[in-house]
Amino acid sequence: MTFMNLFGLTLRYSYSRYNRHLAASIKIALTYAVSITAMIVVMAIMSSLQASRFSSIRDVKSFDITVEDGDREKIAALYPDQSVFEYREGYAMLNGIPLIIRYIGSDYDGAVIPFFGNAESLMISYSTYLSTSGDIRLSYISYENGMRRIVNEEVPISGVFYTSLGSDFDSFYAFMPIESAPDDAVSYVAVKGSDDVSPLLENGISGFETWKEKESTLYSAFMLESVMMALVLLVLLLISYLALRQEARIFLKNKVKERAELRIAGLEGWKIKLVFVSSFLVSLILGSFLSLFISEILVRVFSAFMRSYLGYYGDIAIDYTLFIALNAVFFFITAVTVLFFLRMDDKKSIREALDGR
């Protein structure tokens, strides 16, 4: 029997109306499509949320690389294709509210979005702006001639900002011009666009940190979240496999008569197994295409919903590598499972024949 004849038998036992083959194949395809769709969409949303958080931290707060007391011109020459800028930081009290003051220049590239104004004098977050009234009094510690003293001064608000990090950053930071920074404010040179520290090492520059090092606690939490995502995926895989295993068992039980017909027709045992394994896999292939179609629709729906109602503008996209990997794993495991059930049925038939003697 040629390959085309075997393929014809495969399609016959998958999509003919005889003995409800078509209904069984559609049920398998739908079960598989729902399982894969659930995994792909859940992972797409979780991965997008995590990637968006990473991106916001690198854009707004910690940047790819920061060098304490670095030489901006020298570092900019080492990273000609990246954004390199200087800023300073110090602590202060604004009307009794503790804040970190970030002193910035015109080249600052920290993804600060102004509601209005700028950092010409003092730019505070929208939440801080709502909680203040009247004059703004800024208090900070200044060191002069080796002496420490508390400075209180009234500073006019020149702008209000927000960032993609939201209150986690906005409520604790304010911005002022770099020229007004006190002498003891810590100076940083930031690099955005690359976390490769080899140029710094090769040129003997020390005192640098990557964003992962500055946010080590948060990064560890994100890594734990990634592990939890993998565990969620594993649980979904197990549930999906058990559902497909049950479908495979029902599928083969409904094909006992057909398998007997093929034996009577003289078809070799391995070819019979190939026909029914292929028949089940054809349904899975149909389900995989259906799941991809449904996943694309759901991802777009969730993107629109989160953008409209939650203010989330991150990119939610299907991970096609994950999609292909999941399908490959399921195809392989399912083929092995169907073969296992076929061998069990063959052994059962032999036992029943021997007992009949």
Q: pLDDT tens digits, residue range 308-327?
A: 877 777 788 888 988 898 88
Asked whether residue 250 falls in the same domain as residue 347, the answer is yes
- Closest to 247 (Cα-Cα) out of 41, 10, 15, 26: 26
In a domain, 356, yes or no: no
Angle value at C-alpha 116, between 110 and 121, nearest 5 degrees: 70
Among 337, 329, 148, residue whose Cα is nearest residue 236: 329
Picking from 211, 238, 259, the residue at the C-terminal end of a domain is 211
Split into its structural domains, the chain has a count of 2
Q: Confirm whether 357 is domain-assigned.
A: no
Which pairing describes strands 159-162 and 65-68: parallel, antiparallel, or unpaired? unpaired
Domain match, 205 and 294 both: no
pLDDT of residue 354: 47
316 and 270 co-located in one domain:
yes
* Rounded Cα gap, residues 133 and 11, in angstroms: 76
Instruction: Note whether 92 and 155 are within 8 A (CB).
Output: no
Question: Which tens digit of pLDDT belongs to each residue from 135-147?
Answer: 677 777 766 666 6
pTM: 0.65
Residue 6 scores a pLDDT above 60: no
- Which of 188, 211, 234 is the endpoint of a domain? 211
What residues contact residue 76 under an 8 Å CB cut-off, 6+ apart?
A: 84
**105: helix, strand or coil:** coil
User: Exposed, middle or buried: residue 259 (CB in 10 Å: 0-12, 13-18, 19+)?
Assistant: buried
Structure tokens at 120: 């010409």
Output the average pLDDT for the chain.
Answer: 80
Helix ranges restricted to H, the chain: 3-15, 21-56, 72-78, 126-131, 167-170, 198-202, 211-214, 216-253, 256-264, 269-309, 320-356
**Any domain includes 260:** yes
On whether both 249 and 169 belong to a single domain, the answer is: no
- What is the domain range of residue 148? 65-211
- Do residue 43 and residue 104 come from a single domain? no
